[in-house]
Structures are given as C-alpha cells and as structure tokens.
A = this chain, B = another copy of it.
Amino acid sequence: MPTTHTEKERSELHRRVGERLSEDDHRYTTSRQRLVDALADSTRPLTLPDITKIAPDLAASSVYRNLEMLERAGVVRRINSGGNHAHFELAEPLISHHHHLVCTDCGGITDIHLKDELEQTLVEALNAIAQTHGFKPQDHNLDLHGACALCNEHKPA
C-alpha cells in the first residue's frame, strides 16, 4: 500500500472520504470502501479491468457508477490518456501531487514526482498564463509519453 502506508493513514483516508460523501447524502458502502482501498493500494492509476481483477465480485456497472459518483465528489480523478480504458486514481487532496509516465505502447501509467521548486515555478507560470486568458485554473496534468522499460525489452528494434 504505497500511497497510504500505515493503518492509521488508511483509516484517516476512509474517514475523510466518508465525511465527504455524507455531505452529499451518499453512503460510504463496503463496495465503495473497497474501491477506494484498491486505488489507495496501487502506485498507479487503475482501469476498470484492473479493478475487476482486484475485486471480481464487484459488478462493472456499479464500479463505473461509483467511480463517477466519487469523481463528482472530488475523491477520484479520471485520466483519459489514450488506451482503450480510462484510468482512475484518488484525487489530489487525498494523495500527494504527482505526474505520470505514460507508455504509448502498452498504455501503462507510472507515477512520478517533480522537485518541489520546479513544481512551484511551473504552477506560478501556468497561473499567470491562465489569468491572461480569463481562465480559472483548477489543477494541472503533466505526462511524459514514451516507451516503458518492459516494452523497450519486448521491442528492441
């Protein structure tokens, strides 16, 4: 469980999510907790098939419905970086800010972190640009596209 390590952190996570949901009159059911656990247990964003593999008894339709609800509640972030399936991860206030290595071959995603100083410079620059466009910034998204180590091996050409 890389993103949230200790048991204390995990239950704190659930407490926060539960609180958030109850504000919208949503219940933090076992299915939803398991969904959040699956996302928290992973170092990388998961697809629907990933989730089904982890929790085969959860109905796909329910998983999609719950992911959508959790996204609206600001608990989950959806990532559409190509591939057949969308990827899902816990949203920013719940996990640390990071970026992604996206494999253009297999569609896999790996989390990466920028140095704080660079990150901050970047955010300031983006906000300045946004302002000149009358654009109200929410968050940003930085992907490095390329070939992951595994795909490099398979296709040494």
Contacts and interface: CB of A to CB of B under 8 A. Distances in A.
A5 to B, nearest CB: 21
A48 B102 CA distance: 24
A140 B138 contact: no
A92 B102 CA distance: 18
Interface in A64-117: 78, 80-82, 101-104, 110, 112, 114-115
Interface residues of A, number: 37
Given A101-B130, A125-B114, A144 B137 contact: yes
A126 B126 CA distance: 17
19 contacts: A78-B82, A80-B80, A80-B81, A101-B130, A112-B129, A114-B125, A121-B121, A122-B122, A130-B144, A130-B146, A133-B149, A134-B148, A134-B149, A135-B144, A135-B148, A135-B149, A137-B145, A140-B143, A141-B141
